[in-house]
Amino acid sequence: HTQLFSLCYFVLLHRVPLIKGKSARESLEEQGLWDEYRGKFPFNPTRFDDQSLSVSSEQMTNDADLAYFGVISIGTPPQSFTVIFDTGSSNLWIPSIYCSSAACANHNKFNPGLSSTFKNAGKSLSIQYGTGSMTGFEGFDTVVVGGIPVKNQIFGLSQSEAPFMAHMKADGILGLAYPRLAASQATPVFDNMMTQHLVNQDMFSVYLTRNSEVGSMVTFGGVDPNHYYGQIAWIPLSSQMYWQITVDSVTVNGQIVACNGGCQAIVDTGTSNIVGPQADISSMARAVGAYSANGDNVVNCNSINNMPAMVFHIHGQAFTLPASTYVRQSTYYGCRTGLQSSNSDLWILGDIFIRQYYSIFSRAQNMVGLALAR
């Protein structure tokens, strides 16, 4: 009976394979353009400021290290797009044929005229980025995600996009955070999945491969036991807007080096690194033996095996990131840590953390589940 149950349950999981492609940074480094790009579009990892709580705008980042994309389709017949599945934002948007920005020229564009199920929502949309914005209008259509047809899904069709988006690998973004965060009060995709009873359980999970281009996965409707070891640690959210949790402290070699007395963090698939307040990030970098150069926390590639782990203490459990997980190696720029500072008190646990810990996002319980990724 148990076998039968698990088999049936398994069938009800909807998987979206993610491709781990080249990040914008890797491509720009190859072309010798990274320094110029970085000068033009200084990275702003901050995803939140007070304005972002207003109805019309939402902060997103120009993260040049993002590398995981999945394919969705919109319309009847379907038009396909690659998107970043982003737990740090809540809107779905893609480029449209009405956009003449450079960023739209090298991405797939949605043509509403070719879809028999498209309806114009008669509403404009503007999403603010660290270095520019995306503006456009909203429409409704059928969006297919992991084989699930979500009917009457509201989404943004871009009419102008900031220049840095020309370097983004994905066509658009599919936000998986809470409705409170959505620009123009648009209903997020996963909320429609829940309302339309398209998922078995009101949760989704994210598995990110370390090196392999294939194998990464967003699973809608449950948890995939093939993607983690051991127990799942369930952590209650401290706020239901981002997937926000309380971190008790960060230690290196048993000493508290950051987040002393506790701090707030979001688990964010739309950010590649670990982001925190400047003083804390500098303290962590010093503790692991990194030094600052060109805006990166740099380390000697030969010393990775001797560098200490960083430990995030969350809800009474220790989540350990060995040096091999938090050091990134570049063909052109040597080794750097995936630590970035921002001017916000809110921490971001990005892909570096999620690669090590399979992350489960439960709307049913308003919790994040973390388990050691396989």
Closest of 131, 148, 150, 132 to residue 140, by C-alpha: 150
Regions of the chain with pLDDT less than 50: 4, 6-7, 49-59
Tell me whether strands 216-220 and 14-20 are parallel, antiparallel or unpaired. antiparallel
**Cα Rg, the chain, nearest whole Å:** 20
The overall longest dimension of the chain from CA atoms, in Å, is 61
Tell me whether strands 92-95 and 148-161 are parallel, antiparallel or unpaired. parallel
Write the single-letter amino acid at 333. Y
66 close to 272: Cβ distance less than 8 angstroms: yes
User: What is the sign, positive or negative, of the torsion defined by CA atoms of 269, 273, 276, 280?
Assistant: positive
Reported pTM: 0.91
Classify domain 225-373 at the CATH topology level.
Answer: Cathepsin D, subunit A; domain 1 (2.40.70)
Closest of 237, 175, 228 to residue 365, by C-alpha: 237
Q: Where are the domains of the chain?
A: 17-207, 225-373
In terms of phi and psi (left: phi > 0; alpha: psi -120 to 50; beta: otherwise), the region of 294 is left
How do residues 97-152 score in pLDDT, each as one tens digit? Answer: 999 999 899 999 999 999 999 999 999 998 876 556 789 999 999 999 999 999 99
**The tokens of 314 are what?**
């969350």
- With 0-12 / 13-18 / 19 or more C-beta atoms within 10 angstroms meaning exposed / middle / buried, residue 365 is middle
Catalytic residue set: 86, 268
How do residues 307-358 score in pLDDT, each as one tens digit? Answer: 999 999 999 999 999 999 999 888 778 899 999 998 889 999 999 999 999 9
Write the single-letter amino acid at 283. S
For the residues of 25-52, what is the DSSP string, one character each?
HHHHHHTT-HHHHHHHS--------GGG
Alpha carbon distance 52, 56 (integer Å): 8
Same fold, 17-207 and 225-373: yes
Classify domain 17-207 at the CATH topology level.
Answer: Cathepsin D, subunit A; domain 1 (2.40.70)
